[in-house]
Amino acid sequence: MGEQRAVVTGASSGIGAATVRRLRAEGFEVLAVARRADRLQALAAETGCSALTADLTDQADVDALRAAVEDRFGGDLTALVNNAGGAFGTDTVEGAKAEDWQRMFDVNVLATLRTTQALLPALRAGRGGDVLVMSSTAARIVYEGGGGYTAAKHAESAIAETLRLELAGDPVRVLEVAPGMVRTEEFSLNRTGGDAARAEAVYAGVREPLVAEDVADCVAWMLTRPRHVNVDLLVVRPLAQAAQHKVVREQD
C-alpha cells in the first residue's frame, strides 16, 4: 500500500495508545499526540512511533502539530485519527455544571474541528488521506445523566457527516467509529471524578466488555480498505450490550 503516515490524537492511554500500537504493527509511521509527555515517551520507546506533547484545545499547540506533520512527514499525511476526547460528570441536565459541558465540547468537538482544519492540506497531498472521527454510541442516542457527553458526541458526529458532504470529490475519506461499552483504564474513572467504585460499577456483571484493542482493530481495518471503499460509520458494541439501555449483567 506504500508508505503510510498517521497522526493519532489522545494517544497517551486507552483506545489512542492501542491504535498507535496497531497501526505501527500494520507498518504505519505514526505521530502520537497527547498532553502527557511521560506516557508518550514510553509509547514511543515501545513502538517506535514519533511523539508530540500538545493540548489540542489550544490553537498554538494545534499549529505546532501542523508544523510537526510538515517537518516529519513532508506535509503528506495518510490518516488523522481524531481520538482525543472524554466524558466528565454524570449530572442531570438540570443539575449539570456548565464548566463540565464546556470541557467536553472543547476536547471532543473543538479539538476535532481545529485538528482537522489544520491537517486537511496534508491529507489532500499525495494520493489523499483519511479523517477518522472516534465518536461513540452516545452520538446516536441520549440517556439520563449523559446530556453533556451525548451532546458533545452528537456534535462531533455532525462534523464527520458534514465534512464528508463538503469534501465530496476530494481524495479524502471521512470515517467514523462509534464504540459502545469499552473498558479502559481511565474513561469511567475520569467521568466519575476519580471515584474508583463508581467507575467499576459501570462494568459490573458484564461479560467481556470491549477493550481498547478491539476498537483499534476496527480503526486499522477501516484505514486499510481499498481507497474506493469509504466506511462511513462503524458501530461496535460488546455482545452483552444490545443497545445503550440493554446490557446483560450476570449475577455472582
Q: Is 149 a catalytic residue?
A: yes
Rounded Cα gap, residues 135 and 157, in angstroms: 6
With a cut of 60, say whether residue 201 has pLDDT above it: yes
Confidence class for position 203, pLDDT limits 50, 70, 90: confident
pLDDT at 184: 83
pLDDT digits (tens, 9 = 90+) for 8-35: 999 999 999 999 999 999 999 999 999 9
Sign of CA dihedral 6, 118, 130, 17: positive
Phi, psi of 229 (to 5 degrees): -100, 115
- Decide which of 109 and 205 is more confident: 109
pLDDT digits (tens, 9 = 90+) for 142-164: 999 999 999 999 999 999 999 99
73, 88, 149, 203: the catalytic one is 149
**pTM for this predicted structure:** 0.93
Residues whose CB falls within 8 Å of the CB of residue 226, separated by 6 or more in sequence, listed in order? none
Q: Are 231 and 174 in contact (CB under 8 A)?
A: no
Q: Are 63 and 40 in contact (CB under 8 A)?
A: no
Rounded Cα gap, residues 12 and 231, in angstroms: 26
Sign of CA dihedral 208, 212, 216, 218: positive
pLDDT at 127: 87
The Cα-based distances of 88 to 49, 84, 85, 102, 203 in angstroms read: 29, 14, 10, 10, 17
